[in-house]
Chain A
Amino acid sequence: MAVDTERTTPGTPRAPRRTGGLRHRLAERGVDRVLLLLVPALLVVILLFLYPMMYGVGLSLQPQKGGGMLANYRAFFDDPYQRDTIWKTLRLALPAALINVGVSVPIAYRLRGRFRGRRALTAILVLPVTLGTVLVADGLLRYLGPKGWFNRILLDLGLVDQPVRLIYNYWGVLFSLIITGFPFAFLLVLAYMSGIDPTLERAAATLGAGPWQRMRRILLPLLAPGLATTFVLAFVLAFSVFPSANLVGEPADETRVMAIAAYQSAFEKYDYSMASTIAVLMGAFELLVISVTLLVRGRLYTGPSAGGKGA
């Protein structure tokens, strides 16, 4: 904005010099006129995102039953049935995100670079994302159910006497989160991994580093910022779990996640204010995990991941 004032006040001899200096200082920090292009996007964000959010926060501070601004929040934390949803959600979202990112690394490591059928594989992996959670949940019910293939194989092999219960509980939801979240995490990790110059590992090898050392000292440090970003996205995706918690979980108890609690408040008790409170709390917890992750990421090396100049 200072840039414009400089334009409009060419009369004063000293002002341009001062704003000119300011412009240079701003430019050094990456602030310049081009940033004005962000204004329309910023408006959209404010209108579509920030406004409803603030509206929700406002709503959450106006409890239906009265009792002060924070009554809803107090009620949420005082009631173990509500309060426990926090833990139940984190218990699903954190392992799901960690597993999705963790499993992606070795697989992406094997599959990076160009190879035949990479596109086909990518397409296969994207499929669960496009199918959506409901269809995946449906498939899981058949596959992991008491009469599903998985249990039948286990029974036939004599590994178990009773069908293992893998649906309508915590495990069903975790499986569902992994199936829908993994492709997403994998594709991101693969992209990050492909950005790392393969000669770096070759150099490390000639310096005496075996495969494990190369992974630990070269690949992972260069990949870490990307993994942090992927983790954040995978976590957010898993944190708002709703359909699978309902369909393959135990929504009354073990997998009563925050999204379900919010849903029940809004559409079963018609307490929109309480529903907003839970939604705001969901956002707060997501923000907490994201901040911690990004704080850690900020301490990592985030520069270029190629080893030098030239060809």
Chain B
Amino acid sequence: MTPETVMAGERRAAFDHLRLEGVTRRFGSAVALSELDLRIEGGEFLALLGPSGCGKSTALNCLAGLLPLSAGSIWLDGERIDGLPPERRGFGMVFQNYALFPHLSVRRNVAFGLSVRRVGKAEIRRRVDEALALVELTEHAGKLPGQLSGGQQQRVAIARAVVLRPRLVLMDEPLSNLDAKLRVQMRTEIRRMHQDLGLTTVYVTHDQEEALALADRLVVLRAGKVEQIGTPEEVYTYPSSTYIAGFMGYRNLLGLPAVTTENGRVVVGEGAFRLTGVPQERVSGPRAVAAVRPEDFRRAGPGDRNTLDVRVEVSEFHGREVAAEGVTEGGHVIHFRLPERVAPGERIELAVPVERVLVFAGTGAGTRAGTGARTGEAAGPADAAGPEEA
């Protein structure tokens, strides 16, 4: 995790590992973060992922020292640091609203941390120039934050945090206030900077795409608790619950009774409708949830076995493909994607590979979709629009 780079300075991570043990934070009687155990390796890019209100910012603020812990401890290599105030931790933080100092020019914003540390004038100048060049803001150095666009402000915030070569960089949804195009661009910039500067980064987001694209490892949170930890590939391909499946783009979460289980395969279905999949946990009882991603469906051809008939209800043109919604005989809504247009009302047969149907144990009173589907799906858009407490 320490590639050769163009930037001068120490490229090796400043510590071996950071350990969180039973980190808990309560607000009154509400538990915002519950017994978080986590080990962050030096040089790693870790993403904390989850819907709004699941405790991501709380976890980050606890790490930064901006929120005292209700219980638990934080260790940096051998040293316990959860009692240190934020100014003595040496962690850089990028805030969701950037939190640039409005009365200071871009240059003095970036220089702030260095001048607090009484670094020499010439040294400050050199390092600030370097940081501004890194985020391509050299010609805006004299402006006040209010005179910059959102993307530029965001880059100032990043430059301000990384110019100190912090041991750990904490980012709280740094891209959520940018438009879609800029977001993808900045995402790449952040990843590049992480590699070039040999940083250790903890990145908070509610956007699964962002987390998958950026992180070496993902921590998915749900209501203050860890739901799954793994590489992007692991979490994406093998979500550990319907909740995570819903979050990872498994839009079809079909609540169906399990019919048979054998040879590591499980068949779910009702009436004439049958779907074979891979059980992700012990599936028993009348209820199971089959999770399928829209892009794993294709139009059935001769010889396809795992198929279902749907009547197309809505179809949206998305450029390279068509996203459509259909209904099965039994009333289950199916989201799928096809390379060509389908007309509403058309009846088509879809096929899906057995290993791309993940079957979870049902969560009791599931109706059409597992309960996880609701929370998972509601998370994305509601989060983006919702007001955000720090």
Interface centre among B93, B99, B153, B387 (most CB of A within 10 A): B99
Contact A308 B113 (CB under 8 A): no
Bound Cα distance A303, B104 (Å): 11
What A residues does B89 contact at CB under 8 A? 206
Q: Can you report 5 A-B residue pairs in the complex whose CB atoms are below 8 A from each other?
A: A199-B390, A206-B86, A308-B98, A310-B150, A311-B176
In the complex, whether B182 has a CB less than 8 A from a CB of chain A is no
A contact residues, total (Cβ < 8 Å): 27
Interface of chain A: mostly helix, strand, loop or mixed: loop
Count of B interface residues, CB-CB < 8 Å: 39
A208 to B264, CA, bound (A): 55
Question: Given the complex of chains A and B, what is the CA–CA distance between A217 and B104 in angstroms?
Answer: 10
Pair B116/A207 contact, Cβ less than 8 Å: yes
- The complex places the Cα of A205 from the Cα of B112 at a distance, in Å, of 11
7 pairs of A and B residues whose beta carbons are closest in the complex: A310-B177, A308-B98, A207-B113, A301-B103, A203-B99, A307-B99, A205-B86
- Complex CA gap A308/B151 in Å reads 11
* B102–A205 CB distance below 8 A: no
B66 to chain A: closest residue by CB = A202
Residues of A within 8 A of B269 (CB): none
Minimum CB–CB distance for B159 against chain A, Å? 12
Q: Smallest Cβ distance from A227 to chain B, in angstroms?
A: 14
Interface centre among B64, B89, B93 (most CB of A within 10 A): B93
Report chain B residues within 8 Å CB of A206: 64-66, 86-87, 89, 91-93, 161, 170
The answer to whether A204 and B101 touch across the interface, beta carbons within 8 angstroms, is: yes
Q: Which residues of chain A are near B330, meaning CB under 8 Å?
A: none
**Cβ-defined contact, A307 with B102, below 8 A:** yes
Does B193 belong to the interface (CB within 8 Å)? no
Chain B residues near A (Cβ < 8 Å): 64-66, 85-87, 89-93, 95-103, 112-113, 116-117, 144-146, 150, 153, 157, 160-161, 164, 170, 176-177, 387-388, 390
Partner of A307, one of B91, B100, B112: B100
Structural contact, A303 and B100, CB atoms closer than 8 A = no
Inter-chain contacts of B388 with A (CB < 8 A): 311
Q: CB < 8 Å: which of B64, B85, B92, B153 contacts A308?
A: B153
Q: Is the Cβ of B387 less than 8 Å from the Cβ of A311?
A: yes
Partner of B150 from A213, A304, A306, A309 at Cβ < 8 Å: A309
Known: A207-B112, A208-B113, A303-B103. 16 other contacts (CB 8 A): A199-B95, A200-B99, A200-B102, A202-B66, A202-B390, A203-B95, A205-B65, A206-B89, A207-B160, A217-B116, A307-B97, A307-B98, A307-B100, A307-B102, A309-B97, A309-B98
Q: Say whether A305 faces chain B, with CB atoms less than 8 Å apart.
A: yes
